Structure 1
Amino acid sequence: MPLFEIETEAHIIITWAETEDDAREVVSEAYPTDEVVRLTRRPRDSWVISKGALGLTDTKLDPCVIARDCLSKSAGDKVNAIRLYRMETGSDLEHARRAIESNMVMGW
């Protein structure tokens, strides 16, 4: 069965389907308000996402690793961890707050 890549305004969906019409049906069932922007039949039956293309190959730059390290250095003090994260990454206050808070929720 062919593999299709379907892009809508809000999603990229990878699915197997017999025909393009079947692939469009997958989108209409899962996301009835989304309109198909692009539909491509993939040349192979598997899908690979390059971690390098997503910027995930260098763990030093992984925001979760940095956030957890900042939380550790600050002994769990959220405000201090945010300050450390901003200094470490150059992020703005809102981005740093989200990174620290999301890692606190994950059970630091």
Structure 2
Amino acid sequence: MKTLHAPTRTATVVARLLERLDASRVPVDAHQYRIVAERLAGLMLDPDVDWQPLLAQSPAAATVYENLHYAEAGLCHAPLDQAVAAEVAAREAIEAARRKPEPGAAAPDAAAI
């Protein structure tokens, strides 16, 4: 049985940098983002590393990992509960907005309905 080792410090730092770029409120240079993501992807090709701790800490790293290993990983690291909750909340907000009349708008004409 092969023993896997922990991600390198470099991989952890690059994953954190990618997280910061993802969370930035200031527009990020696409080339810079691509370089960081490619660097992390290159590091994640090492099959002797247990990537699970890093993937649990970093959604951005989990996304890169899924893209690299989609055939094996699928979307197993995607936060499904959060995505479903966001979808439900969005649908509810859209329905509420549809039901709410615009301020100052005339009531709908009964003949038009």
What's the TM-score, normalizing by structure 2? 0.29
Q: Normalized per residue, which structure has more helix?
A: 2
In our comparison, the structure showing a higher alpha carbon Rg is 2
Q: Normalized per residue, which structure has more strand?
A: 1
Query: Relative contact order, CA 8 A, sep 6+: which one is greater?
Result: 2
